[in-house]
Chain A
Amino acid sequence: MADREQAAEERREEGGPNERYFVRFTRAQRYLHAVLFTTFLGLAATGLPMRFSQSAWARLAASRVGGFGAIIFFHKLFAVVLTVAFLIHVKDVFQRGLVNREKGIFWGSTSMVANWKDVKDLFGHLRWMVGLGPKPEFERYAYWEKFDYWAVFWGMIVIGFSGYAMWFAPFFARFLPGWALNAVLVIHSEEALLAILFIFSIHFVNTHLRPESFPMDMVIFTGVESEEEFKTKRPKEYERLAAEGRLEARISPAPPLWLLNFSRAVGALAILIGLILLALTLTAYFGS
């Protein structure tokens, strides 16, 4: 709590009322993240009782909502919503990259595709962590953010495909070998477990709970970041925009208080649910 107050205090001291804000995420990107974490929490909350169906909490939760029938209904509902969001995103990327010929989608400083700088940043960052070098200066997307993105991207394909293979097993059996029907459950549950453990521990800490952002990085909710934070967290992007003379175009008014408070509430709730699910997962995993 003291940290939080102090961080806020510092932000006021450093920024002051005249602090400038810069747009970092578009409305569509923020909505995509909102749909992603809402459906992810829903899928985790409905998937975990199935994965750990022998644990007491899973059975209690199931009995409260009407048993397996209700759980699988919501699991499929969230899955369909997430699939649609994923397809829209993929379509959007290809539209921008291939149709509109937008530069920097598939390669370059603003691309999600990993490059040599990311490899250097990873080792540089690790060296900095153990006190052997300076902190690397990150671009628009740091290497761990690209990893998050591709982990979700890969997870979406793997979990989605194996999930639909189970949902429509007789159909998939037309072109999948028999053992694949056994394998899809193993793949689905293990990959989902990895996603849950990763998001609810590593993503939460890396992005939201680490001292620089504690208790939450608001940028994905509000879309804007203060100049101070922007400069500290992504010096290379700031420099590049300034050099290209595009910094001014990114200036935005400070996020309104209602949006900040709403985002804080939603974000805190999401993190809380995630941490509860993480605790339940760990108890079931190590309890069995």
Chain B
Amino acid sequence: MKIRPAIALTLGASALLLLAAPRTARAQTDCLACHADAGLQDASGHSVGVDAPKFHSSIHSSLQCGDCHAAIKEYPHPDKVTPVECDTCHADEAAGLVGSVHASRAEHPCTSCHGNAHAIFPKTDPRSAVYPLNVPRTCGACHGNDAMAKQHGLNNVYPLYLDSIHGFALSKEGLLVAANCQSCHGSHHILSHKDPRSPTYKANVPETCGKCHAGITADYMGGVHGKAIAAGKMDAPVCSDCHTAHAIEQPTESAFRMQSTPICGNCHKDKFSTYRDTFHSQLGSLGGYVETARCWDCHKAHEILPASDPRSPINQANLVATCGRCHAGANVSFVQYQPHANARNRKLNPALYYTRLFMNLLLASVLTFFMIHTVLWLIRSRYHQIKTRSAKGGKNG
């Protein structure tokens, strides 16, 4: 249905109303006389219908149409009307959007997140597009779209988030406290993680996560990584470097433990390489046995302290207790075991170096001698066999 036949149909009644009560001309009932028709479209085919019952239950139900559609002063109104300015009332939010990644009004009108302008509910209302449990879906409408993400040089993190511990808590458990997109990124003043003011800027990440994970953040800030970040050494890892930003897994579960040591190994390459040589790593790589010592089982995950610190689990005085957590009966001699021994380093581990050298020489000499011995023997035997057979007039004759 086009607007012109609608006008024709309601012309008489509307004209009467206009004449009789000009002050209420912009009251809801007047407008809804036409716009309650859900199929109503403007000249360019956009829907201009309003779901009246929904609007009446929405947060804006007490407002008159003209409060927002301020350009419409009289009836009949022009075909083209200026867009609604939410800023008129929501000045703070509008100010927040300025300079944010969503600053462009044309690309990101308020409705792109808040949904249908005539059905806006408070964010505490489950019907709201920005209700905590609905936020990921709302953001995902754009950010879950591969093509759109690529266009803006972003990764499609929506599926990662949904499968993460946060996404799972939110979508499966319906936990309101589970982190959703805006818990970390904010809502109106969203900034790129490269912007030092952004809550997702590397130096700000511990504080951002600490909004919920206060205890862990306090531990982290007391450890070597937290102190380094606080001192402006940006090479040190923050929460998201180990846990990722979106694909966060439950760290006590095998899936995380299995793939976790290379995370530390990204920076601690020498320690990772020597760890790889040990039984801890060998059995840890094969799965099905998640208890085997990973980096933080000995070093702790958040409050990581140097071995020289008496509070460190790898301090000489604490080793029996630390190793003893897995190795019942660990004693002073037992903890002399070096979990990062390097058999290739003569200076650091001479005994191990010479043990390995001896074993390698033994292996190489035995195999070399017998390889030559066996190959010569094979050739000679075959030659002998052929010769004997040909002498007898056999097949190889």
Given contacts A68-B286, A194-B362, 10 further A-B contacts (CB under 8 A): A58-B285, A67-B287, A69-B289, A126-B376, A128-B380, A131-B380, A185-B279, A190-B359, A194-B367, A210-B378
Taking a contact as CB atoms closer than 8 A, the residue among B281, B292, B359 that contacts A186 in the complex is B359
Tell me, yes or no, whether A229 is within 8 Å of chain B by CB.
no
Least CB distance, A123 to chain B, in whole angstroms: 12
B352 contacts A182, CB within 8 Å? yes
B276 proximity list for chain A (CB < 8 A)? 54
Tell me, yes or no, whether A169 is within 8 Å of chain B by CB.
yes
Least CB distance, A64 to chain B, in whole angstroms: 10
Least CB distance, A236 to chain B, in whole angstroms: 19
Within 8 A of B (CB), among A47-72: 49-51, 53-54, 58-59, 62-63, 66-72
B370 contacts A202, CB within 8 Å? yes
Tell me, yes or no, whether B385 is within 8 Å of chain A by CB.
yes
A6 proximity list for chain B (CB < 8 A)? 389, 394-395
In the bound complex, CA of A59 to CA of B359 (Å): 26
Within 8 A of B (CB), among A69-106: 69-72
B355 contacts A186, CB within 8 Å? yes
Instruction: Specify the chain B residue showing the minimal Cβ separation from A197.
Output: B367
Least CB distance, B347 to chain A, in whole angstroms: 14
Taking a contact as CB atoms closer than 8 A, the residue among A169, A176, A181, A210 that contacts B377 in the complex is A210
A50 proximity list for chain B (CB < 8 A)? 279, 282-283, 286
Given contacts A178-B337, A212-B381, contact A68 B288 (CB under 8 A): yes
Tell me, yes or no, whether B390 is within 8 Å of chain A by CB.
no
A211 proximity list for chain B (CB < 8 A)? 378, 381-382, 384-385
B286 contacts A194, CB within 8 Å? no
Tell me, yes or no, whether A276 is within 8 Å of chain B by CB.
no
B370 contacts A198, CB within 8 Å? yes
Tell me, yes or no, whether A2 is within 8 Å of chain B by CB.
yes
Given contacts A186-B355, A190-B360, A205-B374, contact A67 B289 (CB under 8 A): yes
Q: Chain B at the A interface: mostly helix, strand, loop or mixed? A: helix
A190 contacts B378, CB within 8 Å? no
B333 contacts A63, CB within 8 Å? no
In the bound complex, CA of A66 to CA of B381 (Å): 46
A169 contacts B352, CB within 8 Å? no
B381 contacts A210, CB within 8 Å? yes
A170 contacts B355, CB within 8 Å? no
A128 proximity list for chain B (CB < 8 A)? 380
B362 proximity list for chain A (CB < 8 A)? 190-191, 194
In the bound complex, CA of A20 to CA of B379 (Å): 30
Least CB distance, A68 to chain B, in whole angstroms: 4
Instruction: Specify the chain A residue showing the minimal Cβ separation from B382.
Output: A211
B380 proximity list for chain A (CB < 8 A)? 128-131
Q: Chain A at the B interface: mostly helix, strand, loop or mixed? A: helix
Is the interface on chain B under 10, 10 to 19, 20 to 34, or 35 or more residues?
35 or more
B289 contacts A68, CB within 8 Å? yes
B338 contacts A178, CB within 8 Å? yes
A171 proximity list for chain B (CB < 8 A)? 329
Given contacts A67-B287, A186-B343, contact A170 B377 (CB under 8 A): no
Taking a contact as CB atoms closer than 8 A, the residue among B331, B377, B389 that contacts A173 in the complex is B331
Tell me, yes or no, whether B264 is within 8 Å of chain A by CB.
no
Tell me, yes or no, whether A258 is within 8 Å of chain B by CB.
no
Instruction: Specify the chain A residue showing the minimal Cβ separation from B356.
Output: A186
A206 contacts B377, CB within 8 Å? yes
A129 proximity list for chain B (CB < 8 A)? 373, 376-377, 379-380
In the bound complex, CA of A178 to CA of B333 (Å): 6
Given contacts A177-B336, A194-B362, contact A170 B330 (CB under 8 A): yes
Tell me, yes or no, whether A183 is within 8 Å of chain B by CB.
yes
B282 proximity list for chain A (CB < 8 A)? 50-51, 53
Tell me, yes or no, whether B75 is within 8 Å of chain A by CB.
no
A131 proximity list for chain B (CB < 8 A)? 380
- Bitwise, A140-170 to B at CB < 8 A (1) or not (0) is 0000100000010000000000000010011
B283 contacts A53, CB within 8 Å? yes
Interface centre among A51, A53, A58 (most CB of B within 10 A): A53
B337 contacts A181, CB within 8 Å? yes
Tell me, yes or no, whether B150 is within 8 Å of chain A by CB.
no
A174 contacts B333, CB within 8 Å? yes
In the bound complex, CA of A131 to CA of B379 (Å): 11
A170 contacts B363, CB within 8 Å? no
Least CB distance, B274 to chain A, in whole angstroms: 10
Tell me, yes or no, whether A179 is within 8 Å of chain B by CB.
yes
Tell me, yes or no, whether B38 is within 8 Å of chain A by CB.
no
A-B contact pairs, 29 of them (CB 8 A): A50-B283, A51-B282, A53-B281, A59-B286, A68-B289, A69-B289, A71-B286, A130-B380, A131-B380, A151-B366, A170-B330, A178-B335, A179-B336, A181-B337, A182-B349, A183-B351, A183-B355, A185-B278, A186-B356, A190-B360, A191-B359, A191-B362, A197-B363, A198-B367, A202-B373, A205-B374, A210-B381, A211-B378, A211-B381
